[in-house]
Amino acid sequence: MSLLPDNTLITAGPDEGRALAIKLARSSVKATQPDAEVRQRLRSVYAEDHGSLVAIAHVVAVEFATIAAANNYWR
C-alpha cells in the first residue's frame, strides 16, 4: 500500500498541499483500521465527539506543516 501519492510531498501550492494533508490523514486511518465496516460504524462515534474532531484537525495540521516545509513554504 502506497500512502504517498507519486512518492512526493511536492505540491503546486498551499491548496494542493492541504488537500494532500487531508488525503494522508485519511490514508493513515485506513492503514490503522483496514476494515471499512468498522470505520463506518465508528464514524458516528467520533463525529459527535469534539475531542476527536480536534484530534483529527491536529493530525491534518501536522501533515500540512510537513508538506509546507517540504515545499519551502511555497516560496
pLDDT in tens, 22-61: 999 999 999 999 999 999 999 999 999 999 999 999 999 9
| Other CB atoms within 10 Å distance of the CB of residue 20 | 23
The answer to whether residue 36 is domain-embedded is: yes
The answer to whether residue 3 is domain-embedded is: no
The answer to whether residue 8 is domain-embedded is: no
Residue 64 pLDDT more than 80?
yes
The answer to whether residue 2 is domain-embedded is: no
Confidence of residue 1 (pLDDT cuts 50, 70, 90): low
DSSP 71: T
The count of domains in the chain is 1
Domain carrying residue 27: 13-74
Cα–Cα distance list, 40 to 19, 50, 68 (Å): 22, 18, 31
CB 73 within 8 A of CB 14: no
The answer to whether residue 4 is domain-embedded is: no
